[in-house]
């Protein structure tokens, strides 16, 4: 392979998550981190010592007007995602945005359209999709070893800090949707039915979402800030086998149950399926840092070596589903997508 020059990259937003993004992109050989922007001087100073080769600035325009910069990473508060991403795309840069892609569905739609028009890549940071356990789940789902996919059931429960600005679906279900997006394109979701409950504050603190997809596949996502027990469990059931992904397990995160029920081709009556029962396998997982794997993937996409796994469309689909879920909770009925 002919050596490709490193992707000249800039980052905007150095608050809570930004420094992690900076560190993981900067550590890749395929990346040349040239500019980092935050209005807060203290944040910049803390990082300047660690990254002597990066220039720090308070003014994002320096990034947009630097024609040499190819990729812009945006890790600012949600409300600024759309204006900053729009500006970067207009300036002809590829863009990687923290989730959620934008504050509203309309903004996200505009960004997706703009990226298409500008022929630039638009990524949303769905870190979970790059976790080794999720990659294993996705590769099993795609390998036909599970048979027809029947359902996806995910619970993300803990004793979480109640939030003022987001409800529990916006806070937590987005992770389950990231995992789900590694199995089925979220754009194909057909309906959303959601129920939600408020016990202490003003936001929804516990909720269930039911999603339907073509060919009978459906998903259930249960999220809560009120569960004393921390649960991070996803079950993917196929006709031939089932995968349990338990993120609370320190090492044995994925279990594949090689048993299931199948249509028996020899018998016309669907009432008499075949039952299979086999081993349980706990596959060894890679031990890469998730955000590092994601950064590498993004850089390779910019180089044209890989195709984006989590595009702006996925980020838009997530926003549409969250929006539909909120409307379903309000109306008590399913919402078509």
Which residues would be at the binding site for its own copies (CB under 8 A)?
Answer: 49, 148, 150-151, 153, 159, 162, 164, 193, 195, 197-202, 206, 208, 210, 216, 218, 220, 222, 224-229, 235, 237, 239, 241-242, 244, 248, 250, 252, 257-261, 263, 270-271, 273, 275, 277-284, 332-334
Considering the complex, state which of residue 5 and residue 251 has its C-beta at the smaller distance from its own copies: 251
Considering the complex, state which of residue 15 and residue 216 has its C-beta at the smaller distance from its own copies: 216
8 A C-beta contact, residue 76 and residue 12:
yes
Alpha-carbon gap, residue 305 to 316, rounded angstroms: 24
Answer positive or negative: Cα dihedral of 71, 75, 80, 82: positive
8 A C-beta contact, residue 75 and residue 17:
yes
Rg (CA), the chain: 21
Considering the complex, state which of residue 99 and residue 208 has its C-beta at the smaller distance from its own copies: 208
Considering the complex, state which of residue 82 and residue 172 has its C-beta at the smaller distance from its own copies: 172
Minimum separation from the CB atom of position 66 to its own copies (A): 31
Minimum separation from the CB atom of position 313 to its own copies (A): 27
Minimum separation from the CB atom of position 201 to its own copies (A): 5
Minimum separation from the CB atom of position 206 to its own copies (A): 6
Minimum separation from the CB atom of position 329 to its own copies (A): 11
Question: Please, which residues have CB within 8 angstroms of residue 155's CB and are 6 or more apart in sequence?
Answer: 221, 222, 223, 231, 232, 233, 234
Question: Please, which residues have CB within 8 angstroms of residue 25's CB and are 6 or more apart in sequence?
Answer: 9, 11, 31, 33, 73, 295, 298, 299
Considering the complex, state which of residue 105 and residue 285 has its C-beta at the smaller distance from its own copies: 285
Question: Please, which residues have CB within 8 angstroms of residue 109's CB and are 6 or more apart in sequence?
Answer: 316
């Amino acid at each position: 392979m002919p050596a490709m020059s490193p992707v000249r990259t800039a980052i905007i937003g150095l608050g809570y998550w930004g420094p992690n993004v900076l560190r993981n992109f900067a550590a890749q050989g395929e990346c040349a981190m040239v500019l980092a922007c935050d209005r807060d001087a203290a944040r910049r100073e803390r990082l300047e010592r660690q990254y002597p080769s990066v220039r720090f600035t308070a003014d994002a325009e320096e990034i947009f007007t630097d024609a040499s910069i190819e990729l812009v990473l945006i890790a600012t508060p949600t409300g600024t995602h759309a204006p900053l991403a729009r500006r970067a795309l207009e300036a002809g840069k590829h863009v990687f945005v923290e989730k959620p892609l934008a504050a509203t569905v309309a903004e996200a739609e505009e960004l997706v359209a703009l990226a298409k028009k500008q022929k630039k890549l638009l990524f949303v940071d769905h870190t979970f999709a790059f976790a080794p356990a999720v990659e294993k789940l996705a590769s099993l789902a795609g390998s036909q070893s599970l048979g027809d996919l029947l359902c996806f059931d995910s619970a993300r429960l803990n004793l979480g800090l109640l939030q003022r600005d987001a409800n529990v679906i916006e806070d937590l279900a987005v992770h389950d949707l990231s995992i789900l997006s590694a199995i089925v394109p979220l754009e194909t979701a057909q309906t959303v039915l959601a129920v939600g409950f408020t016990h202490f504050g003003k936001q929804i603190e516990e909720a269930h979402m039911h999603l339907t997809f073509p060919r009978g596949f459906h998903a259930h996502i249960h999220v809560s800030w009120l569960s004393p027990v921390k649960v991070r469990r996803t079950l993917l059931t196929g006709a031939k086998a089932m995968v349990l992904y338990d993120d609370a397990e320190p090492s044995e995160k994925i279990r594949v149950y090689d048993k299931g029920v199948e249509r028996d081709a020899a018998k016309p009556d669907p009432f008499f399926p075949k039952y299979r029962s086999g081993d349980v396998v706990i596959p060894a997982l890679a031990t890469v840092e998730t955000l590092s794997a994601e950064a590498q993937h993004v850089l390779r996409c910019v180089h044209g070596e890989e195709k984006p796994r989590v595009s702006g469309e996925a980020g838009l689909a997530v926003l549409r589903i969250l929006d539909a879920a909120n409307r379903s909770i309000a109306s008590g009925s399913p919402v078509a997508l």
